[in-house]
Amino acid sequence: MRTPGGSGGPTAVPTAERLARALGPKYQVKRLVGRGGFAEVYELWDQELDRRLACKVLHPEIAWTPGMLTRFRQEAKALARLQHPAILPIHFIGEGEGLVYYVMPFVEGESLADALRRRGSYAPDDALRIAEPILEALAHAHAQGLVHRDIKPDNVMLEAKTGRTLLVDFGIAKLLDPGSATGGGPKTATGFTVGTVQYMSPEQALGAPNLDGRSDLYAFGAMLFQMVTGAPPYDGNSSAEIVGKHLADPIPVASDVNARIPRWLSDAIVQCLAKQPDGRFQTADQALAALRRGRAAGSGKLVDAATVERRVRRSGAAPFRPGRFGWWVGGGVALVAGGLLLARGAGFVGSGVAFVHNALVEPVEILSDGTPIDTVRPDGSARLALLRGRADGGGARAEFRWRLLRPGNPPIGEALEGPLPELRRVRGRRVAPIVAEVGGQSYFAPLVTNTTATDITIEVNPGTQAAVRCNCLVPKGAVRTHIGYYRLYRNSTIAAYNNAHPYIGPHADREGFAPRVAPRSGAVVLTF
């Protein structure tokens, strides 16, 4: 068989036509469903059994690495042993017409990645309903010595009709890694990352030759962190920067990002994200048991009477020495007073406290009379003491403004700044939500993934009066690079240019993404 790129090879023929010839008359190639870093996905129609199938076609530059086909067949046989309701099986593999591919059931629904882009994050209970079947699937596979190696939201499918959680592409990262048998690093010979850096365990990033199930549990913890907070635990402007954070940065605490996340759940995520495998849950069953214990026990601790009494005494309340009946009355008063003090301090009652919530994907700075007083991380909140005597908070808000802290040095994207938004009641608290809109103009934040063979530079809304070049560089292999905020229009487009020839070189356009922009954060993921 001829390899791609040889003279007379089939590479000039569209992939869909080549796939149709390779599969034969039994299967009809319907359409291209999606494209990723290592494969294209096509919808098939099985004309004999009247069923929809999905076919992943590996990019030729990956599929034809040395020894790929032999190892591909061997690993596919091992994967065929997996029989679990939360694992999407591989029906068969094949090769022909210069292509290597595998066929699996077609899932009508969306990926967890798409769901997160659409909704931002999940409530803890909803997140656990998705997470627990994944752990069950991992426990089944790990018991047979099989490691996924690429747990991420893109590899979790949510079936529309049944609501089932399905784990896909099991073991494919190992199939694509020519160093897997020899202890090679985390990149293939052609430069494709094996695994995804936002979710990659430290040992996988360092190229450890014998990964075990604890590496999957690290990636699972990173994904669960994103599910409940809206962002991965580590991010950056390049793959190398993100990997460095996995190796050296402190483990983030989910409940510090979002106070509604139960501490037991946050602790479980922290244990999954331990830098050393020995510090994590040792099996998926252990992690699953911890989550189920936490759900059964509830999300928080009750405040006991002694704690309330100490808080009331610290508040300066006068001593009270009643009779026996009076103790009951006094105890009730103390509990009410303590509850009110706690509620006031938490911002649930009173007019002097409010919260700023930053829904954007970049941090913002809070200004008081032009002076910075606080920084609020993405999807984080900050407590503000408002001027007293302003029950509606309107006059108090006038002294505060917010300002976007733009990425890059020098900063890239457009400068966003505005007054503190109108306060709203959210679960009893008064909250000023900062969203991707200023003065009636909506903005969006492209998170750019570069799967091309070159570094690229970006132009937003090219050919219009609102055209802006980001003056940034998105290196090849970069994942979800932040390039700032830009004005959003119904027909907004983005052009990516070869950085070596930004004006005359090859470029690609992305358009029609405006409906996919998250309404609050303005985030949209674009892949080139």
Active-site amino acid positions? 150
Q: State the CB neighbour count (10 A cutoff) for residue 305.
A: 12
Nearest to 458 by CA among 438, 479, 442, 482: 482
Q: Please check whether residue 381 is in contact with residue 355, taking contact to mean a CB–CB distance below 8 angstroms.
A: yes
The CA distance from 121 to 105, in Å, is 28
Nearest to 170 by CA among 186, 154, 150: 150
Taken in order 289, 292, 294, 296, the sign of the CA dihedral is negative
Strands 493-498 and 456-460: antiparallel
The CA distance from 367 to 345, in Å, is 22
Nearest to 473 by CA among 457, 459, 492, 491: 457
Helix (H) or strand (E) holding 34: strand 27-35
Give SS3 for 494: strand
Q: Find residue 525's DSSP bridge partners.
A: 447
Q: What is the DSSP string of 120-173?
A: S---HHHHHHHHHHHHHHHHHHHHTT---S--SGGGEEEETTT--EEE-STTHH
Distances (CA, A) of 53 to 21, 26, 345: 17, 12, 56
The CA distance from 498 to 480, in Å, is 18
The CA distance from 348 to 342, in Å, is 9
